[in-house]
A and B are shown apart, each in its own frame.
Chain A
């Protein structure tokens, strides 16, 4: 019996019981589809998110300050944004440090119409740090300090003012219950997303302007760039030393709070527990943490998919066992006409494998479709990786053999005369 013959005999046996075959194929389809879709979606989401994280560069360190955790509002004199970024910049391993403060406001687009606006207060170094240059006009300048000027992201500029020249126009903006007229001095090149920042859809103003409007001087976020990828750890410890010193100086006035921090496990302010007044996070660590959590997610979801495949396999075994009983007489007839036990074993095993392979191929298609739909909904790229088909094929083959072998052995062990007598 050649392979073609076996396929033909197997297919016609399966075709005879269409519903039953369909149901057992379905079990495999669901398992394989789940596996493929999960792998594809996780790969897509990973590609998207790690693209964003990597976009910030491996030299980047994000510093978050939470001064209000240890001092009363109004006591933040030592935390002026420019002052801290100057201090951070003075560290040996730090090339650049830029404060970032954000505010949400509205911009007037018609007589009675407003549109939401995300305003970023920062310093001129922002452009250097992100290698983010103006297409029109200029970026912020040290002389802009406190002045009502604005630089627009590329997308924002066309959305608000249409195509053409934008520099020189004025925007009426509501920020923190204050209305002010901002003079457009520049429009940036399109850049997409950097990190988690939608840099094309934001407006950039001098950080001093935001400080004046909000009266808030505790600028929470600093983007710091180490002088090289090899100096990131060094930069982190230098930053921590500077901040520790700053908070220690504060502790004279806020004893209670600092005592609480010192009493925490790990002692110093660098632990990542809730009441720590600052966090310093290297981009690289973020990437690692992200990759780790992705791996965990892959394992958990992949495990669930594998279990559903296992259930499909058990379904196949169940159905094959029923089929063996139901086809006992057929086995007897085949044996009486010269079929060896091996032929019978091969026949039943082949049928099980055929069901699994058909289910595997269908599941692959369904899984890919689901992955593509997921990519569209989740807005990440659809990753067409070679891994899912290989996994799906190998897995369904394995399931077919593992769960088909026992029923097939049972069939091949039948006694021909007994089998013939079976009704």
Chain B
């Protein structure tokens, strides 16, 4: 199988005043097309940082990140934004929906920035909401939806531009186990449909479904499985 994501010798340091905090200290990782990868590790081990690097929210301090074979580590901010809009869908623990916009408007957001015309946009956003079982809640605002429903809207938003890669940072972290399992079910269906999904998680039941488990410890991969 072709590698969708390749991470090569990536380090990432955050500057905190005078000192550098090393979130990643040299990570090599390959993720195949259509794979379901679980990223685990203790808090502060660099999971979110790695996820953000793979999705172009950050640039690495050193090393390279390749998406569909293309080096994205030295793209400009604008190019990275375009890439995030079309190739990557993010799902966050805190959902990160626009609170004053309807579910539909939230799902339309990436389509809008991708320059899709209004009418097509509406249709595609509705179709995405339908895929996560929320077609009837299109007009509701996040405040009028439950946590699980909010996370489904977020997944629909991540799917809107039909990106090959979904990156989810503790997507079930704010949900009860039952709802969490429902969200996991959606991801499994998506993987079965050909999407590549990387999930940062603490939950063993989530990790147990993953084809590949990657464990981070203090900014490094714990075992050599990653380069596979």
Interface residues of A (CB under 8 A from B): 1, 5, 12, 16, 329-330, 332-343, 416-417, 420
In the complex, whether B113 has a CB less than 8 A from a CB of chain A is yes
**Contacts A338-B86, A340-B77, A340-B82 given: A332-B113 contact, CB under 8 Å?**
no
Complex CA distance for A416 and B114, rounded to whole angstroms: 17
CB pair A342–B78 under 8 Å, yes or no, is: yes
CB pair A417–B113 under 8 Å, yes or no, is: no
Complex CA distance for A334 and B92, rounded to whole angstroms: 14
Complex CA distance for A145 and B96, rounded to whole angstroms: 100
CB pair A5–B81 under 8 Å, yes or no, is: no
Can you list the 8 inter-chain pairs with the closest CB atoms, starting with the nearest? Answer: A338-B85, A338-B113, A340-B81, A337-B110, A340-B78, A337-B109, A338-B110, A339-B113
In the complex, whether B161 has a CB less than 8 A from a CB of chain A is yes
Complex CA distance for A127 and B112, rounded to whole angstroms: 79
In the complex, whether B224 has a CB less than 8 A from a CB of chain A is no
In the complex, whether B57 has a CB less than 8 A from a CB of chain A is yes
In the complex, whether B152 has a CB less than 8 A from a CB of chain A is no
**Nearest-CB residue, chain B, relative to A13:** B100
Complex CA distance for A335 and B79, rounded to whole angstroms: 12
CB pair A338–B118 under 8 Å, yes or no, is: no
Compute the total of residue contacts between A and B using a CB distance below 8 Å.
59
Complex CA distance for A337 and B158, rounded to whole angstroms: 8
Complex CA distance for A417 and B118, rounded to whole angstroms: 28
In the complex, whether B187 has a CB less than 8 A from a CB of chain A is no
Complex CA distance for A337 and B98, rounded to whole angstroms: 11
Complex CA distance for A336 and B81, rounded to whole angstroms: 7
CB pair B57–A336 under 8 Å, yes or no, is: yes
- Listed by A's residue number, 20 A-B pairs whose Cβ atoms lie within 8 Å are A1-B113, A16-B100, A329-B96, A330-B98, A332-B96, A333-B96, A333-B98, A336-B57, A336-B90, A337-B85, A337-B90, A337-B110, A337-B157, A338-B161, A339-B85, A339-B113, A340-B77, A340-B113, A341-B78, A343-B81
- Residues of A near B78 (CB, < 8 A) are 340-342
CB pair A1–B97 under 8 Å, yes or no, is: no
CB pair A336–B113 under 8 Å, yes or no, is: no
**Contacts A334-B113, A416-B57, A417-B58 given: A341-B81 contact, CB under 8 Å?**
yes
Q: List B30-89 residues whose CB lies under 8 Å from chain A.
A: 52, 57-58, 77-78, 81-82, 84-86
Complex CA distance for A329 and B113, rounded to whole angstroms: 17
Complex CA distance for A336 and B85, rounded to whole angstroms: 7
- Residues of B near A330 (CB, < 8 A) are 98
**Contacts A5-B118, A343-B113, A417-B58 given: A338-B84 contact, CB under 8 Å?**
yes
Complex CA distance for A214 and B20, rounded to whole angstroms: 102
Q: List B166-189 residues whose CB lies under 8 Å from chain A.
A: none
CB pair B110–A417 under 8 Å, yes or no, is: no
- Residues of A near B113 (CB, < 8 A) are 1, 334, 337-340, 343
In the complex, whether B115 has a CB less than 8 A from a CB of chain A is yes
- Residues of A near B92 (CB, < 8 A) are 420
- Residues of B near A343 (CB, < 8 A) are 81, 113
CB pair A336–B96 under 8 Å, yes or no, is: yes
**Min CB distance, A338 to chain B, in Å?**
2
Contact with A along B119-163 (1 / 0, CB 8 A): 000000000000000000000000000000000000001000100
- Residues of A near B86 (CB, < 8 A) are 338
Complex CA distance for A330 and B97, rounded to whole angstroms: 8
CB pair B57–A333 under 8 Å, yes or no, is: no
- Residues of B near A332 (CB, < 8 A) are 96
Contact of A334 among B100, B109, B115, B161 (CB under 8 A): B109
**Nearest-CB residue, chain B, relative to A333:** B96
**Nearest-CB residue, chain B, relative to A343:** B113
- Residues of A near B161 (CB, < 8 A) are 338
Complex CA distance for A341 and B57, rounded to whole angstroms: 13
**Nearest-CB residue, chain A, relative to B52:** A417
CB pair B77–A5 under 8 Å, yes or no, is: no
Complex CA distance for A332 and B52, rounded to whole angstroms: 13
